[in-house]
Chain A
Amino acid sequence: MAKFQTWWRRGSGFVWFSGATLALSLLMIGGLVGYIAVKGLGFFWPTPLVQAMTPDGPVLGEISGHEKAQGEDAAKIQFHVGNRDVYGQDFRWIPKTALHDFSTPADAVLVERLEYGPFIGRVKSLEQGGQPIAQGEAALAAIGARLSDAINLQRTIHRIEKKDVGALNSQIEALRIEQHRLELKGADTSQLAVKSRQLQTSYDAAESRLAALRAEAGAVTVTLATADGQTKTLPLAAIVRMVPANALGVFGKSRIYLSRLWEFLWDDPRESNTEGGIFPAIFGTVMMVLIMSILVVPLGVMASLFMREYAKQGWLLRTLRVAVNNLAGVPSIVFGVFGLGFFVYGLGGSIDKLLFADKLPTPTYGTGGILWASLTLALLTVPVVIVATEEALASVPRSQREASLALGATKWQTIRNVVLPGAAPGILTGLILAMARGAGEVAPLMLTGVVKLAPSMPLDGSFPFLHLDRKFMHMGFHIYDVGFQSPNSEAAKPMVFMTAFLLLMVVVILNLFALRLRSRLRARAGGGGAF
């Protein structure tokens, strides 16, 4: 008892309490990152396809959830049965007591396809022009052999649609606007009619080529059967991947895993963002952060140089400094609202009236776009860069500055050759922190130009290559949209986890990098005053 009393009187209980709260915080962080990592990364690993018998017939699918008995509800198992076009819903909760005869049949396949989500069942036959050329097991092997060709064909079709026909469409559109402009002026449009006919001929040629390719793609079809016997025939070109999950070994599963990961990072989304990849979102995020950085570094460095080197150090400057620093704490949505009012409606509207009047009332710059979004985020992150740069400029030892001045250099030469290089790592830290903040902020983007699905990217092959008026996709907004505004949020959840994990990784790595840099700088500055 005496020991307990000593322990208590020392206040060790409260020390434990405070340690426990810290432990809780650490658990929270670890739990969050770990949970996202597991859910996200685990998504691509092929799970076994389980078949069981129910009173209504056999059910085949991945086991995606368990629920314990609660009150009157019995214990349930959730099956991901896929086949949205056949069954109407792809997830099913079945009471445990109704299930028996579990098995993992080796010929069960999960077929990822372009529409309606995955198909889970068995391969019945492979047909060409309606005639079966392989059945059952042989069909699976034959499909494997032909699938890559079919996918390439599909890619060619897609490329012609997007690039060639797309380019023709934009030329036709430009021609129409030119025609409209000339009509308004009352000038002659007959030359344009010739060009219009030429474009129309090229368009028809491209369309006929596409029709031929599509017919070729549709010639080979696959018939699949569900667990309860319903069949579905699809063209081979509509299949993205065949996963005979139960027949794969670790090596096979790893290959599927890597292939899915690759698709996630480099392909376009399908099925309203619940399947496929997030490449446009990654690209949009990267582009926006790049443009934002290009804007924010000169602005921040110039403002910091002004405040530290050129302005008179009085109470006004101190107040200004406090004001600018506090802007870092202002909610990001306020910046978003400012971006909408000033950039989009104000500047954008004026630019439209001056330069794009013939396209009105369709706005070009008078609506959200990547330029306005980047500008808004640049304003948002300028205080971060200013703070970091000021710290960096202050850490350059006075002795170095004075030495440079003593040697006859002007103030600007000193800044350019001594101060800025010395402060460069600190400025870099500020830039990295700004980039991390910009990559993670979503609220201001929602108002200034991010969309669920962008028809084209801000950087593409058509002149002028960099389209700053286009809307773009963003990983953070992707998480919000797919998670909360998706028609099928159960199917979308794994995608969202993976996107969240990617975003988290990017932001965490950037921050860790910046922190390392900063602590190294601080150590160097602390010991570097030896001059």
Chain B
Amino acid sequence: MTRSISYKGVAKRLDRFMAWFISLGGMTIIAAVLGILLFIGKEAYPLFLSPHSKALATAALPPSSALAPDETGRALATLDAAQGVRGFTVDGGHPLPPAANGPALPWRTHTSVDGKGGFAVLGADHRLSFGRLTWDKPGQTTDPAQWAPVAKWDGAFPVGDQLGTLLSVRTLAASGLAGGESWRVVALDPGGALRWAEFTSEDATPVDDSDSAAPETPVAKAAAPAAPAQWRALSLPDGQHPTCARLSADGKAVFAGTREGSVLFFNLGEDGAPATLAASVPFPEPVSALGFALGQNALLVGGERGGLAAVQALHQDGKTVLQEFHRFPKLDGPVLGFMASQRDKRFLSFSASMVAVDHLTTERRLFSATGQGFKDAALSARGDFIFAQDGTGALRTWSLDAPHPEISSRILWGKVHYEGYRKAEYVWQSSGGTDDFEPKLSLMPLVFGTMKGTFYAMIFALPLAILGALYTSQFATPRLRDTIKPLVEIMAALPSVVLGFLAGLVLAPLFEKSAVSVLLMPLATLLVALALVPVWVRMPKWFRLRWGNGREVAWLLPTMLLGLLVAAWVAPAFERIFLAGDFRAWLLQSHGYTYDQRNSIVVGFAMGFAVIPIIFTISEDALSAVPRSLTSASLACGASPWQTAWRVVLPTASPGIFSAVMVGLGRAIGETMIVLMATGNTPVMEWNPFNGMRTLAANIAVETPEAPAHGTLYRLLFFTALLLFALTFILNTVAELVRQHLRKRYESF
């Protein structure tokens, strides 16, 4: 007795434990499955967070005229006319060992430091030197107090009295085997006119007589015979006075801003030819500052009243056009300068009372701060630290956290004017060959591609599936139905890789060779069938009873085959007579459509394979679920099977068919492998059926393996996955609800 009681006890405890275990396990699994949506959302949502900035400690530094932060933003180099190149830590403003051996102090004029650390200085002895700023961090220490700024100087060139204010310097790489580096300089002369000159390293004199770091140049410690540089004029149109200028990236052109409110583009002549004014664009205010964004393609223009814009030079058909293609929120007061981030397209602009960081492509303001008397401002190379110094030397620092500045809803869904494009367009091109590439992340071409693929798939699949289901459920004999249904289930089981492979490697070339015969097939089969009708109606009744009434498919199969063969046979003659011998040429000439081998028709056909069985199965279920009483009543009233099917069964089952179409749509939208293999994967936005497309799903498959983890593209791909998930989920839920409702409706029959 005791043993059976303890057995019962064990059983009871086990029962309770299993109930708890299964409930917990079941809930966890369901939560996990639904949590996929949450995880994907969590990965995607940082894209849309606003930038976040924090004011860091201020420091008191001696006043200077240019700031150059190091990469980490913890140390700062300054240029000052009186003191030269000096360094300070940001935290506390402790001075660091200054860079030695520069041009003679006090400097007469100098440029600011560009993104690569280059700058130019006119020393007290009227010699122009070019410097490159780097940082010496002994033993890779991370303590900024041990760092020191290092300036490497090149070529002091005597320039006499002809230089007033240095505006811009460009280093040109050595060309040819014997040549050294050369520099082009644009400057204002003492009279305020714009001049430029080129210096080559062969004409250089040593920067500093006590420069011991150059033992390879033993020559000419003696006074160098100074040949003043050849300054060439850049003549502006009458009445225009230049305020600032920048050399283009290749050094062959100059952008100049004028007091009268225009930006001018000069082509510097080669080999002594004079410079020519090639283009100009008006600016609503006098131009007070110029700068470049990363990549040196977009010229940033700042005005006297705080207006900010970006201008680009477009070269087409041998002509140059200047075009303003971005406008940014205004600054308070005249714009004093720019500094671009070296990592992405954000840039800093500042006026005496405001510092702001904007992003070029999205035109969004990521950061702004107000103050008073700002003389200079700088942005660290990664764009995460902002420095501003006023006339007394007080340095203010901010940190900026904007990991995904390239995304805004206008970028994703609207037309954007990108660098190098003539107008705003929808473009998807997520990466390019260089580091300064502007990512073009518009989702519209992908959404369009998805819709196009789905459209062509549905055009092909819907008639075949629904009419086929109608025939199977209403007209076919039960034996035929039992053969057809497993065949269609097999069609549903085909892996989409195999379908895509056939479409891409077999159908596409076949279709290209015999496009005409494929397009003629429906017509040919129709004609063949029509030719059979007079024969059929004259057949004796027993024949028609035996082969009609549900067995039509058996002989329609060879008929269709015959139609296909007829189309293939007739096509060459058709092409010769009506299409002047070449289908593709005719297509191009009369409709302007190009023909790609892997196009939407091939995709539509292949996706049909994937989608037809789904729509067929669900439609067939819905059509068969229509109560017998309805069909019997209709037939009893004298209607033919077709009339019954078309007017009674189909309308009754239409909610089920609708739900089938929804599920099929969901499948077509999410199909990846077929699209990947059977289209060219080009994100074009054309309805041309002989063109390819790129869908959201295929885009994810192609781009995700190469997207840097947790970067902008990665998160954007998660966002598109979320879109796909939501879309298909909604479609399937609607379909399921409709089906459940339908089931309830017919329970009572």
Chain A residue nearest in CB terms to B498: A500
- Are B736 and A19 neighbours in the complex by a CB distance under 8 Å? no
The reply to whether the CB of A515 lies closer than 8 angstroms to some CB of chain B is yes
Any B CB within 8 A of the CB of A177: no
B39 and A342 contacting across the interface, CB-CB below 8 Å: yes
A131 vs B262: C-alpha distance in the bound complex, in angstroms?
87
Question: Closest residue to A492 on the B side, CB-wise?
Answer: B505
Report A1-21 CB contacts with B as 1/0, cut-off 8 Å.
001101101111111111111
Known: A3-B538, A20-B556, A22-B484. A32 touches B468 (CB 8 A): no
* Per-residue contact bits, chain B 708-736, to A (CB 8 Å; 1 contact, 0 not): 01100000011001001100110111001
Interface residues of B in 485-513 (CB under 8 A from A): 486-502, 504-506, 513
Chain B residues, CB < 8 A from A341: 39-40, 43, 718
B40 and A382 within 8 A (CB):
no
Contact A441 B646 (CB under 8 A): no
CB proximity to B under 8 Å, residues A287-313: 299-300, 302-307, 309-311
Q: Are B498 and A479 in contact (CB under 8 A)?
A: yes
Write out, one digit per residue, whether chain A residues 319-345 have a CB within 8 A of any chain B CB (1) or not (0): 010111111011111111110111001
Instruction: Chain B residues near A310: list those with CB within 8 A.
Output: 19, 22-23, 26
Interface pair B670/A483, CB less than 8 Å apart: no
Pick the contact of A338 from B14, B40, B484, B641 — CB < 8 Å?
A: B40
Chain A positions 423 through 441: 1 when the CB is less than 8 Å from some CB of chain B, otherwise 0? 0000000000000100111
Q: Which of A129-159 contact B (CB under 8 A)?
A: none
Using Cβ atoms and an 8 Å threshold, which residues of chain A touch B626? none
- Per-residue 0/1 for B55-76: is the Cβ within 8 Å of any A Cβ (1 yes, 0 no)? 0000000000000000000000
Residues of B within 8 A of A7 (CB): 533, 536-537
Interface residues of B in 672-708 (CB under 8 A from A): 672-673, 676-677, 697, 700-701, 704-705
Interface 1/0 per residue, B223-263 and A, CB below 8 Å: 00000000000000000000000000000000000000000
Whole-angstrom distance between the alpha carbons of A365 and B30 in the complex?
Answer: 25
In the assembled complex, A503 has its CB within 8 A of some CB on chain B: yes
Question: Complex Cα distance A471/B291, Å?
Answer: 49
Interface: A412 (CB within 8 A)? yes
Chain A neighbourhood of B488, CB < 8 A: 25, 29
- B487, B489, B506, B533: the one contacting A26 at CB < 8 Å is B487
> Does the CB pair A25–B34 fall under 8 Å?
no
**CB–CB A303/B536 < 8 A:** no
Q: Chain A residues near B552: list those with CB within 8 A.
A: 15-16, 19
Asked if A10 and B29 sit within 8 Å, CB to CB, the answer is no
CA distance A20 to B721 in the complex (A): 39
A14/B646 contact (C-beta < 8 A), A7-B536, A326-B736 known: yes
For residue A20, which residues in chain B have a CB less than 8 angstroms away from its CB? 525, 529, 556, 559-560
Instruction: Give the residue name and chain of the B residue nearest to A478 (CB).
Output: B497
Of the candidate stretches A76-84, A225-233, A442-450, the one touching chain B is A442-450
Measured in the bound complex, the distance between the Cα atoms of B721 and A31 in whole Å is 34
- Bound Cα distance A309, B502 (Å): 46
Give every chain A residue within 8 A of B729 (Cβ-Cβ): 323, 326-327, 329-330
Residues on A with C-beta less than 8 A from B471 are 15, 18-19, 21-22
> Is A442 a contact of B673 with CB atoms below 8 Å?
yes
Against B, the Cβ 8 Å flags (1 = close, 0 = not) of A363-383 are 000000000000000010011
Cβ of B277 within 8 Å of any chain A Cβ, yes or no, is: no
Chain A binding surface SS class: helix
Contact A331-B724, Cβ < 8 Å, known A16-B556, A299-B29, A302-B29 = yes
Chain A neighbourhood of B14, CB < 8 A: 410, 412
Residue A419 at the chain B interface, CB threshold 8 Å: no
The stretch among B192-200, B360-368, B661-669 that forms the contact with chain A is: B661-669
Q: Is A512's beta carbon under 8 Å from chain B?
A: yes
A288 to chain B: closest CB distance in Å? 14
Contact residues of A between 461 and 498, Cβ < 8 Å to B = 476-477, 479-480, 483-484, 489, 493, 496
| CA distance in complex: A163, B504 (Å) | 40
CB pair B22 A334 closer than 8 Å: no
Q: A29-B490, A32-B609, A480-B501 are in contact. Are A15 and B642 (CB under 8 A)?
A: yes
Are A27 and B560 touching (Cβ within 8 A)? yes
Provide the residues of chain B in CB contact with A410, threshold 8 Å. Answer: 11-12, 14-15
| A504–B493 alpha-carbon span in the complex (Å) | 9
**B461, closest chain A residue (CB):** A25
Residues of chain A within 8 A (CB-CB) of B32 are: 379
Residue numbers in B under 8 Å from A515 (CB-CB): 486, 489
Q: How far is the CA of A72 from the CA of B14 in the complex (A)?
A: 83
- Known: A21-B467, A29-B490; 11 extra A-B contacts, CB below 8 A, are A21-B463, A299-B25, A326-B733, A331-B669, A333-B700, A334-B700, A345-B709, A440-B493, A447-B701, A496-B505, A508-B494
16 contacts across the A-B interface (CB closer than 8 A)? A7-B536, A11-B641, A15-B642, A21-B471, A24-B560, A27-B560, A299-B25, A299-B29, A311-B23, A326-B728, A329-B667, A332-B670, A382-B33, A383-B33, A413-B15, A476-B498
Q: Footprint of B on A, CB under 8 Å?
A: 3-4, 6-7, 9-29, 32-33, 35-36, 70-71, 299-300, 302-307, 309-311, 320, 322-327, 329-338, 340-342, 345, 379, 382-383, 409-413, 415, 436, 439-443, 446-447, 476-477, 479-480, 483-484, 489, 493, 496, 500, 503-504, 507-508, 510-512, 515
In the complex, the 10 A-B pairs of residues with the closest C-beta atoms, listed nearest first = A306-B26, A331-B670, A11-B642, A440-B495, A410-B15, A22-B468, A326-B732, A10-B640, A18-B471, A18-B467
